[in-house]
Amino acid sequence: MKFLATVLPHWLLLVMTLTAATLLKAQKYRTVYVKLDFSDTSLPKTCTLLFRDSTGKVRTHVLVHNRKLVAAQLDPLIDQWRLDIVSVYFEADSNDRYFFSAGQADTISLTLHPRIVRLREVIVSSHPSIVSRVGDTLQYDAAGYKEIGTRKVSELLRKMRGFSVGDNGRITFNGREISVILLDGEDLTGNDYKALSENLSANVVDKVQVLQNYNPN
Q: Which helix (H) or strand (E) holds 207?
A: strand 207-211
Domains of the chain: 30-114 (2.60.40.10), 131-211 (no CATH)
What's the whole-number mean pLDDT along residues 200-212?
84
Looking at per-residue confidence, does 207 or 26 come out higher? 207
Q: Report the 10 Å Cβ neighbour count for 152.
A: 16
d(CA 86, CA 51): 11
pTM: 0.42
Show contacts of 18-23: CB within 8 Å, 24+ apart. Answer: none
What's the whole-number mean pLDDT along residues 171-184?
82
Looking at per-residue confidence, does 122 or 172 come out higher? 172
d(CA 97, CA 108): 12
Q: For residue 108, what pLDDT is reported?
A: 82
Q: For the chain, what is the mean pLDDT? A: 76
Q: For residue 5, what pLDDT is reported?
A: 39
| Burial class of residue 10 in the structure, from the number of CB atoms within 10 Å of its CB (0-12 exposed, 13-18 middle, 19+ buried) | exposed
Q: Tell me: the pLDDT tens digits for 63-95?
A: 888 888 888 888 888 888 888 888 878 877 665
Q: Tell me: the pLDDT tens digits for 26-56?
A: 457 788 888 888 877 788 888 888 888 889 8
